Amino acid sequence: MATTVRHALPASLSMFAFTVAGLAGLPLAFVAYMALTAGTPVWSRLWQTRIPELLLNTGALALSVSAGTLLLGVSLAWLVVRYDFPARRFWEWTLVLPLAMPTYVLAYVYTYLLGIGGPIEQIWQTWAGPDARIFPPHSLSGATLVMTLDTFPFVYLLSRTALMNFNVSFEEVAQACGASRLRTWFCVTLPLMRPAIVAGLSLVVLYVVSDFGAVSLLRFQTFTYAVYQQVSGRYDHAAAAALSLLLVLLALLFLVAERWFRQRSRFYQTTGRYRAPARKALPPLGAWLATTYAAAVFAASFGVPAWLLAKWSLAALAEGALDARFLGFITNSLLLSGSAATLAIAIGTPLAYVATRRPSTLHVLCSQAVYAGYVLPGPVGALALLVLISHVAPFWYGTILVLIAAYVLHFLPTGLQAMEPALQQVTPNLEEAARSLGYGPAGTLRSVTLPLVRGGFIAAWVLMFLQCMKELPATLLLRPVGYDTLAVRIWLEASEEYYQLAAPSALLIVAVTIPAILLLVSKDWRAA
Amino acid sequence: MKSRPSPRHDRPCLQPGLRRPLVLLSLCLSLVLGGFPGLVREGAAADKLIVYSGRAEKLIKPVLDAFQAKTGVQVELLSSGTTELVNRLQAEGGRTPADVLITNDAGSLERARELGLLQPLHLKEIDQAIAPSFRAADGSWIGLSGRFWTLVYNTNLVKPGEVQSVLDLAEPRWKGKIAIPNAGSEYLQAGVSVIKVAQGDERTRKFLLGLKSNAGTFVYGKSSQIVDALAKGEVALGLVNHYYLYRYLADHPGAPIAIHMLDQQDNGMGAIMNVAGAGVVKHSRHPDSAKRLMEFLVSRDGQKLFADLNKEYPLHPDVPADPALPKRETIRTAAVPLARLAELREPAMAMIEQAGLR
């Protein structure tokens, strides 16, 4: 009896994984179909006029943002986990807050701050003379700055968790054997943190290549921006599909490389016990430097933008912008994002389990197919879903179920990115032990695996929830009549350039997502 | 779809810490599937008139509220990007809940007509109120208010009359002094379309190259930024839709900026104009209410309200524009039919891109 159960579960799990991957692949297949039937004139026009530039820009942006987030994320995580300085707990929490700031809002704030005649240029000119210019926000530097400030918490969070779960005995052994501190760092600490850093960076890269809010505001010509231009400026769906397909292929290549890299550096947590590293108190100068560093990063990524939003919101409130309808917008946003994130966890668990425990080619392919949903540019993915649903399941059309499906398709990969490493860290031995002691597969999952991966799963839920709250292109296209969300409100006001009126919605998104973010850092989500 | 009942022997090992998330999860799921507002398809069943609007909610909602108050017809508004709405209408096809499409651009309305998304409408009220040049040939859409893409200048830096034609803006003497919208701007695209028809390809190309070199880094994503830069004296000249000037002056009275209608000289091509307009959706389920809305929009009250909210020009000849605006009778308009803006868009965009504008 036990054996049949043991074999039945993986089979049903596989079936489930295939089904999900198949469904998730439908919009992509539709886009691929549109792209491949586009005909040579479209492709050759794109190749001659756009593709080389887009490749270069997208690659450059992904690289520079990766470098920036790596530097900020790892150094800050190291600082708050290993050292003690005044208000350390405060900085440890607040450095995650930029995740609440939608990229397009941050981009807008920086076009204001860095723009011609903006505050930063004025300050700079009092120093460097009246004709001095700073770099314009509409450039690679500007886009890098905004994206780095918005996404470094991904790397910070994952590095921090890795450092906290880190068994300090490894370092002690290295030092006892005579390795210098630098050598220990590079030969022991860094390699052990590598899976977390790689996972964080790949979140960053996927975010950068799929985001369209910031690049469209900063007019930086990446693939997503070009796709957006084709869809919105030209009604040229074939060209948009072609560019999307190319982007998806590139991203899949990247993901395969990343998976290979992660496979090679696999570390299991072999016991439930470990020793937490001791914190070193910093000397006064060091403490001052650390505080300044953390404060500067926080101010640039969250403090100043939030303060500006609050200032603009006050002006909007004076105009009577905030009314009872906002309660509805908040509820809509929370309900949509909450249900989408929950559903994604439910769907993602078997997928992640299958991909980490039985990484056969087929299973890995399944999860790769799901990943494609993340990089399929929002405007095109949503359009494909709209066409599919209105033909295949018209009774669904016009309900929020379509929107939830779009969110799950788009953001499930973010969740998987956090769920898979969590599952990977649990050694299969523990599960096998539970099975040999008479637990069924479901029982093992519930009493051994899930408690151990709880932290990673909660992180996955929060990450997906946050991104759903900020999602724009799909919401704009698929929302039912009379069902506005906060993100849509920002867009509606900003599109006709009533920026003050957009500020309250932006501030509300930030405010209602902060509790979810604090959930990420509030507890030690370490394995019990 | 609640959480599956767990096998008997699992109960005792369910840890307290795990039970809560599971309860939460099933709570969330049952909430989702338990039927809250968004699950019921609105509009299709309800007897409401559904308006898809690419015109900002702030500028259209008061008009629809007035219509609702006058006629008792319930109106539900879906505001979005114009292109998103046209794409959506196309994908929805016969199942669309929409009744009326409102946009800020004749080109998109014409595009919707070409895609077969609108139905021709022949009403006496419309024929009397709106001149044929502001309507689709087959009556599928009608213009409601006029907007000019024109010159705004800083009165301290430029004397009135220094620039006569839009083509003058490409002259080298304005190098580093002019602010323009970026290549994605539909105003720029429509403007270049008109210039291309009126002046020919060669002059348009030269104009775009000169404009690009004169503007340098003063390329803005938003018209309000251009007006702001003008008021602060960072640039001397800017190309925007006329109402942005009045919007800025409402917040900053006395700012040193003024408007100048271009190409009014003898034999000049005339000012570049576009219209905001509306059409009844082909598969509308409430064609009678939709017609009543269209009638209201071309009525004197409707025209006044629709145009004044954004300081645009009413198209009804008997409805006066806001007194702050230059008199409409004094403005000569470029003779390019609005319906052609749709077909001209693609070549205009190609020219803009070839000139290297970004």
Residue among A136, A342, A386 whose CB faces B91 most closely? A386
Q: How would you label B54-73 residue by residue, b for 16+ Cβ within 10 Å and e otherwise?
A: bbbbbbbbebbeebbeeeeb
**Residues of A with CB below 8 A from B7's CB?**
440, 442-443
From CA B93, how far away is CA B148, in angstroms rounded? 33
The verdict on a CB contact (< 8 Å) between B358 and A221 is: yes
Query: Please, are residues A499 and A490 in contact by the beta-carbon 8 Å criterion?
Result: no
A-facing residues of B in 105-144 (CB < 8 A) are 111
Domain boundaries, chain A: 17-522
Tell which residue, A27, A11, A26, has the closest CA to residue A350: A11
Question: Region A180-187: what's the mean pLDDT?
Answer: 83
Cβ contact A398–B14 (<8 Å): no
The predicted model gives A366-382 an average pLDDT of 81
Identify all chain A residues contacting B358, using CB atoms and an 8 Å cutoff.
219, 221
Q: What's the whole-number mean pLDDT along residues A155-179?
A: 82
Task: Report how far residue B159's alpha carbon sits from residue B254's, in angstroms, rounded to the nearest whole number.
Answer: 17
Residue A158 — pLDDT band, cuts 50, 70, 90? confident
Nearest to A413 by CA among A248, A245, A226, A243: A248
Report the share of chain A in percent with pLDDT over 90: 23
B30-83 pLDDT, tens digit each: 555 444 545 555 444 457 999 999 998 889 999 999 999 999 999 999 998 888
Interface check for B185 against chain A (CB to CB < 8 A): the answer is: no
pLDDT at A373 over 60: yes
Name the closest residue on chain A to residue B40, using Cα atoms: A399
Q: Is the pLDDT of residue A215 over 90?
A: no
Token output for A416: 């998987």
Nearest CB among A117, A217, A399 relative to B38 is that of A399
Element (H, E) at A94: helix A88-94
This prediction has a pTM of 0.82
Mean pLDDT, residues A189-205? 84
Which pLDDT tens digit goes with each residue over A251-305?
888 888 887 877 766 655 555 555 666 788 888 899 999 999 999 999 999 999 9
pLDDT band at B20 (very low <50, low <70, confident <90, very high): low
Residue B8 burial class via C-beta count within 10 angstroms: exposed 0-12, middle 13-18, buried 19 and up: exposed
Contacts of B94 (CB under 8 A, 6+ apart): B283
User: What's chain A's average pLDDT?
Assistant: 83
Q: Which residues on chain A are in Cβ contact (under 8 Å) with B32?
A: 335, 339, 342-343, 404
> What Cα–Cα distance (Å) separates residue A3 from each residue in A9, A10, A428, B293?
10, 12, 18, 70
Residue A506 near residue A105 (C-beta atoms within 8 A): yes
DSSP assignments along A191-226, one per residue: HHHHHHHHHHHHHHHHHHHH--HHHHHHT---HHHH
Average pLDDT, chain B: 86
Average pLDDT score over residue span A466-474 = 90
CA distance A477 to A116: 34
- Of residues B1 and B225, the one with the higher pLDDT is B225
**Which run of H or of E encompasses B259?**
strand B257-260
Q: For residue A207, give the nearest of A298, A305, A99 by alpha carbon.
A: A99
Nearest CA in chain B to A448: B13
Span A26-54, mean pLDDT?
A: 85
B234 and A117 within 8 Å at the Cβ level: the answer is yes
User: Touching check for B59 and chain A: CB below 8 Å?
Assistant: yes
pLDDT of residue B35: 45
Chain A residues with CB-CB distance to B244 below 8 A: 497
Q: Which of B95, B154, B241, B341 to mutate to test the interface with A (most CBs of A within 10 A)?
A: B95
- Contact list in A for residue B13 (CB cut-off 8 A) is 439, 443, 446-447
For the cut 60, the answer to whether the pLDDT of residue B278 exceeds it is: yes
CB contact under 8 A, A339 and B6: no
The amino acid present at B205, given as its one-letter code, is R
With 60 as the cut, is the pLDDT of residue B102 above it? Answer: yes
Q: Which residues of A touch B92 (CB under 8 A)?
A: 386, 390, 397
Beta strand pairing status for B75-79 and B49-53? Answer: parallel
Of the listed ranges A449-458, B251-260, B281-290, the least confidently predicted one is A449-458
Indicate if the pLDDT at residue B29 is higher than 60.
no
Name the least confident of A356-360, A388-392, A521-525, B263-267.
A521-525
CB of B46 within 8 Å of any CB in chain A? no
Q: Is B42 on the interface with A (CB under 8 A)?
A: yes
3-state DSSP call for residue B68?
helix
Task: Show Cβ contacts of residue A224 under 8 Å, excluding neighbours closer than 6 positions.
Answer: A209, A210, A211, A212, A215, A216, A247, A377, A378
Task: Lowest mean pLDDT of A173-187, A283-297, A331-345, A501-515, name the range.
Answer: A173-187
pLDDT (mean) for A387-406: 85
Cβ neighbours of A339 in B, within 8 Å: 28-29, 31-32
For residues B354 and B69, which has the higher predicted lDDT (pLDDT)? B69
**Which ipTM value was assigned to this complex?**
0.79
Residue B221 contacts A, CB cutoff 8 Å: yes
B85 at interface of A, judged by CB pairs closer than 8 A: no
Chain B residues in contact with A383 by the CB 8 A cut-off are 87, 91
Task: Please report the DSSP string for A434-477 in residue order.
Answer: HHHTT--HHHHIIIIIHHHHHHHHHHHHHHHHHHHHH--HHHHH
Q: Which of A115, A345, A394 sits opposite B95 (nearest CB)?
A: A394
Half-sphere exposure of A88 (CA within 13 A, CB side): 17
Alpha carbons B181 and B253: distance in angstroms, whole number? 24
Q: Shortest CB distance from B17 goes to which of A136, A346, A451?
A: A451
Chain B partners of A217 at a C-beta cutoff of 8 Å? Answer: 221
pLDDT at A412 over 70: yes
Q: Which CATH architecture has domain A17-522?
A: Orthogonal Bundle (1.10)
Query: What one-letter code names the amino acid at B338?
Result: L
Interchain pair A482, B83: CB under 8 A? no
- Say if residue A458's pLDDT is above 70: yes
* Shortest Cα distance, chain B CAs vs residue A83, angstroms: 30
B36 to A528: CB separation less than 8 angstroms, yes or no: no
A369 Rama class: left (phi>0) / alpha (psi -120 to 50) / beta:
alpha
Judged by a CB distance cut-off of 8 A, whether residue B223 touches chain A is yes
- Cα B200 to chain centroid, rounded: 27
Contact A456, A356 (CB under 8 A): no
Q: From CA B155, how far away is CA A59, in angstroms rounded?
A: 45
pLDDT number for residue A294: 95
Question: Is B317 strand, coil or helix?
Answer: coil
How far apart are alpha carbons B221 and A115 in whole angstroms? 11
Say which residues have a Cβ less than 8 Å from residue A298's Cβ, sequence separation at least 6. Answer: A91, A94, A95, A97
Q: Give mean pLDDT, residues A382-400.
A: 84
| Distance in angstroms (rounded) separating the CA atoms of residues B142 and B209 | 35
Residue B204 has a pLDDT of 96
pLDDT, tens digit, for every residue of A338-370?
A: 999 999 999 998 888 888 777 777 777 777 778
Delineate the domains of chain B, giving CATH numbers in brackets: 49-146+275-322 (3.40.190.10), 148-272+346-354 (3.40.190.10)
| Predicted confidence (pLDDT) per residue in A119-145, tens digit | 888 888 888 777 777 777 778 999 999
| A46 vs B contacts (CB less than 8 Å) | none
Which residues lie across from B146 on neighbouring strands? B275, B313
Q: Does the CA dihedral A383-A389-A392-A398 come out positive or negative? A: negative
Mutate to test the interface with B, among A138, A235, A388 (most CBs of B within 10 A): A235
Chain A environment of B224 (Cβ under 8 Å): 497, 499
B221, A217: Cβ pair inside 8 Å? yes
B91 touches chain A (CB under 8 A): yes
Burial B233-254 (b: 16+ CB within 10 A, else e): ebbbbbbbbbbbbbbbbeeeee
- The residues, ordered by sequence, that sit 6+ positions from B305 with a Cβ below 8 Å of its Cβ are B62, B63, B66
Predicted local confidence at residue A321, as pLDDT: 67
Give dist(CA A163, CA B356) in Å, integer: 49
In sequence order, what are the residues at sequence separation of 6 or more whose Cβ sits closer than 8 angstroms to the Cβ of residue A308? A109, A112
**What residues in A contact B83, CB-CB < 8 Å?**
231-233, 235
pLDDT band at A161, cuts 50/70/90?
A: confident
When pLDDT is cut at 50, 70 and 90, the band that residue B2 belongs to is very low
Best A12, A457, A496 member to test B by mutation, with max B CBs in 10 Å, is A496
Whole-angstrom Cα distance, residue A202 to residue A316? 38
| CB-based contact, B95 to chain A, within 8 Å | yes
CB B339 within 8 A of CB B136: yes
Greater confidence (B74 vs B29) lies with B74
Interface contacts A/B by beta carbons within 8 Å: 160
B154: enclosing H helix or E strand: strand B142-154
